[in-house]
Amino acid sequence: MNPQQMERILERINELKALFIFGQRVIPFLEELFGFVQNIVPLMQEMNKSLRESSTKMPRAASQLNDVTRATELATNEILDILDDILFKLGEVQSILNQSVDFYRKINRLERKLDRLLELNPENIATRGWIQKAKAIQDEKKTLLKAFRKTFTRSLKQLNDVKENASNIMFSLQVQDITSQQIAAVNHLIESVRERIEQLLNRLETPVATAPENQPVSVQPLPFDPQASYSPNDHRQQTADAIFSGSATLENPTFLQEEIDQLFRGNISPDAPSTPSSHPNQQKRSSGNE
């Protein structure tokens, strides 16, 4: 072995030594990295779960907000239809009243005509010509009075319809109660997602410095039905009525309003028994009398 070869071997040994020194320094870091990865995996799994939950909740929230839009749209359209009808009927009432004023003027004119006739001929009151004139005026007056009465009857009917329409508008405003429950359901979903994110952030030990205006606002949760919907059709009421009437078959998840009414007809007495099985309507149903 010549000195050059020896020198090369020494160089290699030095390189190996440096490699070992590097390894000694790197191993604790790698161990730390390994530990970090071990710790972060469950956290990542939890994040994954949370994100999955959030991603399923968000479309639900979006769908519920769409329900709010649909409900308000439906109710607004209902109200607009009713208002159209009210305006049309009020227009008719207005023209009827104008017609009535015209009738009143004509009747008044006839009255004056009759008065003049009496004044002009007080002596020959019983003459044939006078009687004929008076009769003609009286007949015309009667016809006008009849038409006058008709206009009043029509006005009253239209006003009654307007009153009914106004009442329908009042009932359409139930949409506010229904949409408030739909929005409460969305709030609940958003709040549950926020809580999950906050839990994750706390686990990551990175407390987020939030400005006072960004601090979560404490909102008193409102009671709600997540399936609240504004659908003014008879079917939903019929379902309830069917149960209360005892005529609904329990295998069938939907009922007719009539059926609900029938069931509740049996329950209508405040002294009704406390269990459905002992309810008079239930007995009727089992005995096949319904």
Q: Which parts of this chain interact with other proteins (CB under 8 A)?
A: 164, 167-168, 170-178, 180-181, 220, 222-225, 227-232, 236-237, 239-241, 243-244, 248, 250, 253-255, 257, 260-261, 263-265, 267-272, 274-276, 279
Return the number of the residue (143 or 167) whose C-beta is nearest other proteins: 167
Return the number of the residue (42 or 232) whose C-beta is nearest other proteins: 232
Q: Which of 176, 184, 175, 220 is nearest to 65 (CA)?
A: 184
Strands (E), the chain: none
Instruction: For the CB of residue 94, give the shortest distance to other proteins in the complex, in Å.
Output: 26
DSSP-assigned states of every residue in 91-141 = HHHHHHHHHHHHHHHHHHHHHHHHHHHHHH-STTTT-HHHHHHHHHHHHHH
DSSP character at residue 221:
P
**3-class DSSP state of 197:** helix
CB of 129 within 8 A of CB of 77? no
Instruction: For the CB of residue 289, give the shortest distance to other proteins in the complex, in Å.
Output: 18
Instruction: For the CB of residue 270, give the shortest distance to other proteins in the complex, in Å.
Output: 5
Return the number of the residue (144 or 260) whose C-beta is nearest other proteins: 260
Return the number of the residue (100 or 172) whose C-beta is nearest other proteins: 172
Instruction: For the CB of residue 88, give the shortest distance to other proteins in the complex, in Å.
Output: 21
- Between CA 268 and CA 264 the distance in angstroms is 6
Instruction: For the CB of residue 35, give the shortest distance to other proteins in the complex, in Å.
Output: 49
Return the number of the residue (275 or 289) whose C-beta is nearest other proteins: 275
- Taking the mean position of all CA atoms in its chain, how far away is CA 193? 24
